[in-house]
Amino acid sequence: MAFNIEKYYNNTNNLCYYKYPLDTMNKMLGLNPLSNTSIMIYTKRFNDNTPIAQRNTFDKSSIEGFNQCIKSKKPYSIHKAESCSHDNNQHIYDETGLKFPVVIKTTQEPRFDIDASDYDDSAKLGLFRYTTNQNFKKKYNSIRICDCVKDNDDNSKGKSICKECWYLIGSASITIQYLLEEFYLIKKDQLLWVYSGNRGIHCWINDKDMNNYSNTSFFEDISQPLSLIRDEDIIKELNNPHSKFKELFNNKLHKYFIKYIVNTSLFKKVIPLILEFINCYYNIIYEKIKMIFEDKIYLNIEKWESFVSISTNKIITNWSNNNTNEVLCIPHEFIVMRLLLPIYDKNVNKIGHHLKLPFSIHNTTQRLSFPIEFEKIPDIIMDNEFINKITLNKHICSNKKECEIKDIMSNGILLLETWLNIK
């Protein structure tokens, strides 16, 4: 049974689990603390398949109206829009003379948007700008060293995400979870992690105190303390023994780096970038580290352990402390943090930036957006087999073969229901 978008919303065949869970999504939309819920529905034009965006607003109680809208419009993607409260005693008039209540507050649920392509613009992010005497042999535009930053067959550079740069998504999820708990006492089970359907992951937060933030103040008040963009900020935090980021390195990220980069084939790809950082900030050890990293006789872990040993040598520490040009931290700590700290999409707090709801279909890739168990995020492998399984136009379900999307859909619904029931 070949799948199509209509069957996703109107399917009555219980053999196929690849269908939109209306009841569960009604509950998620009910999280909104205001009276109305706004969603953006993305459909396709019949003649040229161009995406069309339509805003639809529903009262909390109009569950049937929402269901009818979804079933009739059959959208590829459903996005949660900002919601507004109004002053019914004040009105404004548009050019037609119709009056509307004055909007007095606009809110969105607190959330994070991690997109792999946001790691690609080093100039915009302020990478490599700390030292006044840059010594880079190459001008890297990205810290994402993988095949998916290259031009694809359709000339759309970096549109998707591959199994090699997925480590950025895993480290971002670990960082966000750790720092939210350390800074704001938000527990792991209050976070819902959702694969976007393309090149990133979304994190939704179920916390009644955070729901009071407007969309513009959330990133400034909550997200900013969790973000280290510039190199000097990383160095400053790592030089502070009481820093939460220092704890993050010691408790989480160094172990993650060894497991998902040093002990994998990815290490060979990131070595040139690591050497560029060392050459720029720690040139006293550059030649020694370069010789070890490029020597094929050593295993990856042996190369890294040698670097850590040199990095923590008292001679290096003294050199760093006495260097008059820069205040540096321990070299291997900086490398790990520079390569693993997340780059947040700051546009997530702007009006018009709508996050895709779970179980939507990505317009371009036609992949399913679905919740992921936190502990399993780093181990997802974005290979062809997995991508085919979650891609709409490649989905096949028949009486002879069990639906391959069954576990992903049922587990995703369970995760979302559990998250919604948190008090």
| Residue 281 pLDDT | 79
* pLDDT digits 0-9 by tens, 175-203: 999 999 998 888 999 999 999 988 899 99
Q: How far is CA 50 from the centre of its chain?
A: 26
Structural domain count of the chain: 1
Highest mean pLDDT among 7-11, 80-84, 139-143, 313-317: 7-11
Q: Which range, of 6-10, 119-123, 125-129, 140-144, averages the lowest pLDDT?
A: 125-129
* pLDDT digits 0-9 by tens, 230-275: 788 888 899 888 999 999 999 999 999 999 999 999 999 899 889 8
Q: Which domain holds residue 296?
A: 121-152+228-341
Separation CA 376–CA 353 (nearest Å): 27
In a domain, 69, yes or no: no
Separation CA 251–CA 245 (nearest Å): 10
DSSP state of 319: H
In a domain, 79, yes or no: no
Tokens of residue 49, six digits? 């398949």
> Is the Cα torsion angle 413, 42, 199, 83 positive or negative in sign?
negative
In a domain, 116, yes or no: no
In a domain, 309, yes or no: yes
In a domain, 413, yes or no: no
> Is the Cα torsion angle 146, 147, 150, 151 positive or negative in sign?
negative
| Residue 273 pLDDT | 86
* Residue 294, H or E segment: helix 286-294
Tokens of residue 268, six digits? 């060979």
In a domain, 181, yes or no: no
In a domain, 359, yes or no: no
In a domain, 326, yes or no: yes
